[in-house]
Amino acid sequence: MLTSKLEVLVEFGSKVDGPLLDKTLNELKSQDGVKEAVFKDGAIVVETTLPSTVVLDMVSRASGKRAVLQGFGETQSAVSMISSQSCCRNSVMGVIRFQQTAEGPLVADGCIDGLSTGLHGLHVHEVGDLSQGCDSIGAHYNPSNTVHGGPNDPPDKRHAGDLGNIVADETGRATFRIVDNVLKVWDIIGRSVAVTEKRDDLGKGPNPESKVDGDSGTSVACGIIARSAGVFQNPKRICACDGVVVWDEKDRPLAGKGRREGKRCCEKEK
């Protein structure tokens, strides 16, 4: 099965505890879905078929330390920080990473919180325009001008941006890893990705909207797809934009309320 390599930073401190590192690596290697786990250049590199969020949880449990994803994939990668484009109310928020594999398929790896329990459609859209939130991202990315379908349909029976459904659990979290044979990373950078309020019927429903968007309803969260770092391509340990260090960043939202201590996203400037 197609694997991805993850570069995981672990808060071991200035001097790595050798026995703890060995314990962490051995526990990772014993897990189904983990092909290899090694310590290299100050990070744990995991080759896996599992979603990155699952791997990070494994590393944290095994080491008892905080862990963050520093690099994803060995080849060209992209990322989208998606949100419901609102500020001070319950919102949907998450991260989706894309990797163009050397074998050809694209991997979409994500974790989204704040969804209603059940199935939700996931689609790449034509444009990366958030000027009107998710209302301005255009239709599904569809360079071949075909009808809507599912990710397992042939290219002439689906939109290129049709990635099917993700499943949110009872807490509202959807964790997923999708392998797609149609999309390419270089075609979607600068576009957007969105998750919908309802399940995607994959173009097989009775409603006329089925052939347009799978009758999946409005987009509840979206984000622009941007180029991102692969394994050992990102030396950053602090976010230059707001001064949040990588370890503090782990426990804070990607943007908005709670990102920086002492500042509320809807608080008026004095």
> What pLDDT score was predicted for residue 89?
54
The segments of the chain whose pLDDT lies below 50 read 88, 237-247, 252-256, 259-260, 262-270
Residue 265 CB partners (closer than 8 Å, separation 6+): 87, 88, 256, 257, 258, 259
Check whether domain 4-72 has CATH 1.10.287.130, yes or no: no
The C-alpha atoms of residue 110 and residue 114 are separated, in whole angstroms, by 14
Q: Which residues pair with 46 in a beta bridge?
A: 6, 37
> What pLDDT score was predicted for residue 46?
97
> What pLDDT score was predicted for residue 235?
59
Residue-by-residue DSSP string for 17-44:
-HHHHHHHHHHHHTSTTEEEEEEETTEE
Check whether domain 77-228 has CATH 2.60.40.200, yes or no: yes
Domain residue spans of the chain: 4-72, 77-228
Residues 236-257 as b or e (16 or more Cβ within 10 Å = b): eeeeeeeebebeebbeeeeebe
> What pLDDT score was predicted for residue 108?
97
- Residue written as tokens 């969804």? 115
The C-alpha atoms of residue 193 and residue 198 are separated, in whole angstroms, by 15
> What pLDDT score was predicted for residue 225?
97
> What pLDDT score was predicted for residue 90?
54
Residue 206 CB partners (closer than 8 Å, separation 6+): none
> What pLDDT score was predicted for residue 238?
40
- Tens-place pLDDT, residues 96-134: 999 998 888 999 999 999 999 999 999 999 999 999 999
- Tens-place pLDDT, residues 220-233: 999 999 998 777 76
Give the DSSP H/E element, type plus range, for residue 175.
strand 174-180
